[in-house]
Amino acid sequence: MVYKFSIVLLIGIGLFLIGRNEIGDDRIVESILFLYSISKTLFFFKLMFERIRETAHVELRYRDILTFIGYNTLLIVVSFAIDYLCLYEINQTSFSGITTREQLIPHLVTFFYFSVAVFTTAGLGDIAPHTTIARLLCSSEMMISWFLVILVIANFTGIREALKNSFSTKVKEK
């Protein structure tokens, strides 16, 4: 699963660099970034549910479940941090409160921090989205975190049981 995540992120970074250098129109590049971000998120959810379905008929230890949840949380936070960084590179007025100079690593750390704040809905207020695309990306991450926390973590066992029953029914039908 790590390689799939890495490939998707590299594709996104490549699209950003190509769009930034070839298209030149910031609004179009922002729109492409937003569409990519939503598509990538849907892809990650598909992978997450596939993994749940694959393990539905296997007994999992508590540690395995926590690792699964932690891994998916990290994927979401890192991928949105990169999206925020790309958006900031396109339009520096997208976010207020960025105090680092024009250096990649400090910006990446800043947007990782911001992504954690958005994911946890802590929103400490020191960094804020100001453009429509920035607000949409933040809203998307908040909805995804809600989905992960409420629907997956709270109902992990129920989801596995439903998928296990569905799997058993399909096997019996064959």
- Which residues, at least 6 apart from 59, have a Cβ–Cβ distance to it below 8 Å? none
Q: Does domain 2-173 have CATH number 1.10.540.10?
A: no
Backbone angles phi, psi at 138, to 5 degrees: -65, -40
Q: Encode 111-150: b = buried (16+ Cβ within 10 Å), e = exposed.
A: bbebbbbbbeeeeeeebebeeebbeebbebbeebbeebee
Which residues are bridge partners to 129 per DSSP? 95
Q: What number is the average pLDDT over the span 48-72?
A: 75
pLDDT digits (tens, 9 = 90+) for 83-123: 898 888 888 889 998 877 777 788 888 999 999 999 988 87
Whether the model clears a pTM of 0.85, i.e. scores above it, the answer is no
For residues 125 and 95, is the Cβ–Cβ distance under 8 A?
Answer: no
Domain ranges in the chain are 2-173
